[in-house]
Amino acid sequence: MQIDKDAVREILLVAKRLDEKQLLNAVEGNISIKRGGLIYVTPSAKNKAFLTEEMIAVTDLEGNQIGGTLKATSELRLHVLTYQMREDIGGIVHAHPSYLTAHAVCGRPVETRAYPEMMFKYGRIEVAGYGRPGTDDICRDLGPILKHSNVALLENHGAIAVGPDAIEAMNNMEAAEAIAKVLTISKLVGTQKDLPEEECRHLLSQHEEQQVTFR
């Protein structure tokens, strides 16, 4: 088996960045890359700030571990099944960032009519119904959301972001969390001031135009 060292190093880079940005805490969250017919994924119950190359688990596309000194994350099925949803997905970040996860715990999508960046980039960030972590059930409602979005909330659990590689998945998670933070704090400050209806329609129309239906 030929290990892709670049994939392993990319996971370590993303893990360090997510830890520095406090998008991961202690042993929660996991990162993976699909490359060359293999899945490279973070190990179970390890602080992402202190991972080393040999700790990264390697599995086949069905999730059978074939490399790495530590057991793959307990959320491996989430990664395996998500890769099967869209051929263009090459990286996944699953994490429990505070503001996105607060929405997930409440079962509420991230949405607004007061923040142009949110409306243009995401329209809204939807919630996939609860599924038991570590089982196939966690992906029950995820597929339809990821057909038109790179970020989704997992009800009572956390968030998932995807991209062509782990760096882009990380960027999607980081951007979504920043927007969720602004919207949450704004509700503490006061009542959000909605944009005029015409502007809302324009922004959502722009979102629809730049939105790709992923295959």
Point out the residues that are catalytic.
75
* Residue 55 token pair: 């700790």
CB atoms within 10 A of CB 96: 18
Residues paired with residue 38 on neighbouring β-strands, in sequence order: 35
At what angle are helices 166-189 and 98-106 packed, to 10 degrees?
70
Q: Please, what's the b/e burial string for 31-56 (b: 16 or more CB within 10 A of its CB; e: otherwise)?
A: bbbbbeebbbbbbbebebeebeeebb
| Nearest partner of 22 among 88, 79, 95, 81, judged by Cα | 95
* Residue 110 token pair: 């991230």
Backbone angles phi, psi at 159, to 5 degrees: -140, 160
Please check whether residue 96 is in contact with residue 29, taking contact to mean a CB–CB distance below 8 angstroms: yes
